[in-house]
Amino acid sequence: MATKSSFFSIQLTLSPTTNLGALRSKISNIEAPQPLNRTLPSLPSLASSLATKDSHPGSPQILQTPDPATNNVQVQYLRREVSAKNVALQALQRDYDNLLANASFQQTHHPASTTGADAPSSWAEERINLQYQVGDLQAQVNDLIKTREEAQKESIASRNQYLQIMSMSSQLQTQTAADVKRWQAEKEEWEKQRLNLLRTIQRLERQVRRTGTGADEDEQHVDDGSVNHLLRGDIEKLEQSCRFLENRMRELDQETAQLDGALRTALHISTSLREKLDQARSESRA
């Protein structure tokens, strides 16, 4: 017990003493050495033995040593006292360690709290800085909201434009398919007419070969000239129709190329707007 008390008193002298006077007074009161010849509480066995001896006045007064039972009772009582003191000492030691840990934590993590009058001013400055930061963040949020609204408007406009372009594209594709079918039908019809004309020419040539007289030859010559004239006219009409169809096909090719360019432009605009919208959403979430 004496060794533990001396160790604890040495630890108290080496540790900080900030706001620990009351605790030290309690520890000193508990650790104060008790006198060895203190008065022990009256024991029933001891009192009864003494009373029995005093009841015989004629017996001589002889100093007698205490019996072993009485010594055991006193030793057990002293052990209980020592155990209680040890428990109290351990509790005070834990409280003292907790106070030291709290003091070191406050000094390490909250140095501004020990500055006295400077703490409120530093807190006010920190509050003002935080208010400025909150204002800046609010302005950034408002800018992000405006950017998102503008991106949504541009996306809606580009979507409407894209739908219009797609409608025009479908109309042009339908018209082109109809023109191709019509041109194919006309081409087949002209091919049939050409074949019929060739058959007619061949038949007329065979008829001319069969005739042998001069008059017949003159009449046949006149007929051949008229037929050739008619054939030339039909051929010229067919050539004009072919040229018209070729020009029309070139125009359709040009319109198709322009439409493809417009579609690519619309797709590029839609992709860029979608990227801007995604970026604005990610920034607003962050």
CATH number, position 272: 1.10.287
Q: Check residue 24 and give its pLDDT.
A: 53
If one counts the domains in the chain, the total is 1
| Residue showing tokens 């001891």 | 46
Contacts of 283 (CB under 8 A, 6+ apart): 144, 147
Domain assignment present for residue 59? The answer is no
pTM: 0.30
Binned at pLDDT 50, 70 and 90, residue 235 comes out as confident
In a domain, 200, yes or no: yes
Is residue 19 pLDDT above 50, yes or no? no
Q: pLDDT tens across 152-207, in order?
A: 888 888 888 888 888 887 888 788 788 878 888 887 888 888 788 778 878 777 77
Rounded Cα distance, 270 and 246, in Å: 36
pLDDT digit string, tens, across residues 63-79: 344 567 777 888 888 88
pLDDT at 91 over 80: yes
Q: List the domain range (segments joined by +) for residue 148.
A: 135-285
Residue in 95, 81, 97, 91 with CA at minimum distance from that of residue 1: 81
Residue 152 counted as domain residue: yes
Mean pLDDT of 91-108: 85
Instruction: Please indicate, yes or no, if residue 82 is contained in any of the structural domains.
Output: no
In a domain, 237, yes or no: yes
The answer to whether the CB of 155 falls within 8 A of the CB of 272 is no
